[in-house]
Amino acid sequence: MSDRFRITLAQLNPTLGALEANAAQARAAWQAGREAGAGLVALTEMYITGYQVQDLIRKRAFVEDAIAAIEQLAKDCADGPALAVGGPWLEGEQLYNAYHICQGGKVTARLLKHNLPNDEVFDEVRLYTAGPLSGPVRIGPLRIGMPICEDAWHPDVAEAQAESGAQVLLVPNGSPYHRGKHDERLSPMVARVVETGLPLIYLNMWGGQDDQVFDGGSFALNPGGALAMQLPVFADSVTHLDLEETAEGWRIIPGEITPRPDDWELDYHAMVTGLRDYLGKSGFSKVVLGLSGGVDSALVAAIAADALGPDHVHCVMLPSEYTSRESLEDAAGVATRLGCKLDELPISAPRAAVTETLAPLFEGMKPDLTEENIQSRLRGVLLMALSNKLGEMLLTTGNKSEVAVGYATIYGDMAGGYNPIKDLYKTRVFETCRWRNRVWRDWMHAPAGEVIPPRVIDKPPSAELRADQKDEDSLPPYEVLDTILEALVDDDASVVDFEARGYDPEIVRKVEHLIYISEYKRHQAAPGVRLSKRAFWLDRRYPIVNRWRDAR
């Protein structure tokens, strides 16, 4: 009779810094594995601390507490399967990203991450020491190689483990989501399988941490690259995976393959998860936002209602004399369809008071952008007052197009604690609204159906800060603007690259100039969900003071 070995994969959502709570989740997963007859229960990279830890990992007391939590886990999980859990490790003054193997009441092995990522959102070279190439760990009848996350994106660690006798590869990950990330993961994992001839298990965490969202979606591959198992995205999963020894070596017995959603659903689920976890892990349960009758705030309201439930979303309409009757109706329509509370706070009286107060100093000057921004800032003052008094986190609603060119008022509509659509260009905002009107999933807490009235999506966007104002008075049409922004921001293109595409170089230079002069606003903006590989924050780090312009 051939040998079999069961691994319990714990795709879970840790909370950064919540060592005891994370350990409790690990113990529950270990108990489930024990009851299922597993020989190993595996958790993800840096699981005990949560991920990414950033400079918190430089606090020695935090690292020591994390190591102590792992050692206590080992004692708690002594009588049963081995437990593999990610966490830091100290050797003298050297700090490592490690994977700890617990057996028989103690930590019996530690594998140290060898390849440290230092691109996109990762800064591990400045935080950790690169560990040596390591061999496999024997657990029961199996010799298991364990390349930690980035280690599996390069051939050296898996190759060394295979040459040292590994019979299967288990890859613990903290791999954050961006659009198209699954294909980027799958390709190098298939390469490792082809190079080593070994089955591979890719175990990823899920959940939101500040701007980053981890999507789970763990999978397993047999030699040849055949998909043997795929777990759901954005969900807890404690799954028992069986391996069987054959004449050709150990093979994964095929399990459930959960279909992957398309990019529209993945983006939306990421925004819902990022917002829900940012609030829940920060201690908030309710939000407040300004609902203008426009498409951006409507989408944010829908995301918030799907994340928290409509009863936890407080919408506020703050009209001025420039607010159209249609906007009032559209804001009411969004709130009603979602089932959210809607209050109205007119800003005419406070605006008149501010105008009167400033009149002596503004005497002889024509009204301009200053007066428009006063309206936005008054709205920010009122919304922040509600946030403070009611304990509801204020959400901001600026899309990536506006954030990129500074078409937003600092200390006004940029005021708030979180922005779920911060990395969503305006053209994608429109399409995401249409997608949400067509699609409902059981993880959404708001009603199914057309929750965003079509008129909200189809009408010309306007800030309504002056009579007959339209966004296109100040900006190119969003179809043009977003194409330029995707090239300049996401692809680091040069102005000259647009000439062959038929774009007016003066428009491109204007957009480039707006991007650069708005950097100071982005440094003070609320965090928001990362959806692309070039989100504003850790992916794209530019100086605030910058006099260079592309003049070619």
Q: Which residues does the annotation mark as catalytic?
A: 45, 113, 149
CA distance 451 to 295: 12
Amino acid identity of residue 214, one-letter, is: F
Contact residues for 377 (Cβ-Cβ < 8 A; gap 6+): 409, 411, 412
Amino acid identity of residue 134, one-letter, is: S
Is 89:67 a contact under the CB 8 Å cutoff? yes
CA distance 405 to 536: 12
Per 3-state DSSP, the chain is made up of helix, strand and coil in percentages (nearest 5) of: 40, 20, 40
**Can you list the alpha helix ranges (DSSP code H) found in 395-425?**
400-405
Contact residues for 308 (Cβ-Cβ < 8 A; gap 6+): 275, 276, 279, 285, 286, 287, 445
CA distance 482 to 480: 6
CA distance 243 to 143: 12
Q: Supply the angle between the helices 426-438 and 263-282 in degrees, to the nearest 10.
A: 90
CA distance 352 to 184: 55
Q: How far is CA 483 from CA 281, 288, 490, in A?
A: 36, 32, 10
Total count of residues recorded for the chain: 552
- Structure token pair of residue 484: 């330029």
Report residue 450: phi and psi, to 5°: -80, 80
CA distance 85 to 70: 8
Amino acid identity of residue 505, one-letter, is: P
Of 530, 290, 521, 527, the closest CA to residue 392 belongs to 290
Amino acid identity of residue 489, one-letter, is: V
